[in-house]
Structure 1
Amino acid sequence: MGTKRKQLLKSLKTGRPPTVKSARSMSRKASRTLINSHHQLRKRRSQAAAKGDKDAEAAITAEITSLGGLDHYQQASLQGQSLDRGGDTSKVLLEWLPVREMKSAGKELKMLEVGSLSTRNACSRSGLFDMVHIDLNSQDPGILQQDFMERPLPETETAKFDIISLSLVLNFVPEAAGRGQMLLRTLNFLRHDAASSPGTPPDLPFPSLFLVLPRSCITNARYFTQSRLEELMTTLGYELVQAKLAHKLAYSLWKRARPLASASIEFTKREVNPGRTRNNFVVTLKHPAPA
């Protein structure tokens, strides 16, 4: 049982739809419908897996495949992120960053974009960052096909990043504990402080984590709220720099400000927002993880 649980927490692949051939361009309504369908099916599949119902899990996987799998889902996501639809979440990050000061520093900062769908978003085209793009199912030669939870840890401080982007990634991790482990793992890839990145002014909001979640994960979850998110992130040594609630999304920027608050962390699931219409999104963390 322990081995099975470790494997589930290790990989993100169980939370993503299977891969089939790419889909053609679709309308805004069609892309929104497809994305919502994938989210609901993924949730049902995770529930079936948790119950050990292999037949139901296989049936739901087949239903996801019939919708076009991961490639089709990503096509829908790219439609939502296209510039003419204003869906590029990295534009919000650029609005929050002191671009003038960053340009004056004359140094590209290193950015890791997890779950990358395009190498042509606002941050990639800004000239401010030395970008590394990764995704489970790369749709572009410039995107490395890689699971963040299996990415080798940097061996030196210079190999670490000034900023990590987790835009609509955390909500795809199938287990609450896996989401906590992902947030914890970001610390391994971020520099300890701005001074460890030569040429970077110390007053800039780096090293940092850019986090984007569906708004419902924050505003309509039975076990999770903005306050709970802030409580967890503070425990991890982050401090909130900026936050924004849009119609569909919740954006936040967190600066790594201090070491872990404790060598032992237990962030548990508890009801904080009761109601029959609430969803069950939650993030939990037990560190060190049980053997």
Structure 2
Amino acid sequence: MTATTISKAPESSPGRAGRLRHAVADAWVLTGWELLHWRRNPGAVLGAVAFPLIMAVMFGFVFGSAMNVPGGGDYREFLMPGMFGQTMAMGVVTTVSVMAISATRGLTDRYRSMPMSALGPVAGRACADMVSSAIELTLMMACGLLIGWRVHNGPGPALAAAGLLLLLRFSLIWVGVWLGLRLSPEAATTAWMPMFPLTMLASTFVSPAQLPAPLRVIAEWNPLSATVTACRELFGNPGSPGGSWPAAHALELALAWPLLITAIFLPLAVRRYRRLDR
């Protein structure tokens, strides 16, 4: 009788598709964990949206009567797309703070000690922040409707405008992840200081055409200005005059800027996560 030897083929290392499935599964699990945490602490989301809601009411009613919209129109309709954009941009402060605290308290090290994709934890953070941002944007739009803001071009363009706002937020999440993994929690709490003037030096509250020449150029090329100007056009709200090249091509820039920011900072964020102990 002849003995037959059955040899087991060596297991092949997972290919790119397998690694991608692994990263998606990790991101899904960590997204659920983050959302469960927010479900038990809804004040975190409400606290993040309280400040822009107060700003919208204050600027819309306290300062609105003194504001002139280029080309005419209701200032509150001019204001609200700017407030939507500012809310999305300022969300980076939350991302920076959460990532810095997670890294300092050992949560990030715990993830790295597990058989987990390097993309999974940062992607999970990004997905959770996108859910939070969608909630914040919905609340801001409801507030806008209460103070007189209206959509004039129908639901299709309005959904496209909301998509542009969330695309900007998605790109800035990667900036926040990268910064949060480099800063201490104490330094992360000051992240709002540079962000606030950057969101003001845009077409958020006034048209860049009303600013002095040096500031006008910065405001016109600010990525936030591109998104806000494109949203005003899609919502049918009064907007900035299209005399400059950035204003005339706001929709193209509202797509190009977030894609460029994501292409730069997403790889940097993943690389920084991998090298935390170096």
TM-score (norm 2): 0.29
In terms of fraction of residues, the more helix-rich structure is 2
Q: From the two aligned structures, give the one with the greater strand fraction.
A: 1
* More relative contact order, 1 or 2 (CA 8 Å, 6+ apart): 2
Q: Which entry has the higher C-alpha Rg, 1 or 2?
A: 2
- TM-score, normalising length from structure 1? 0.28
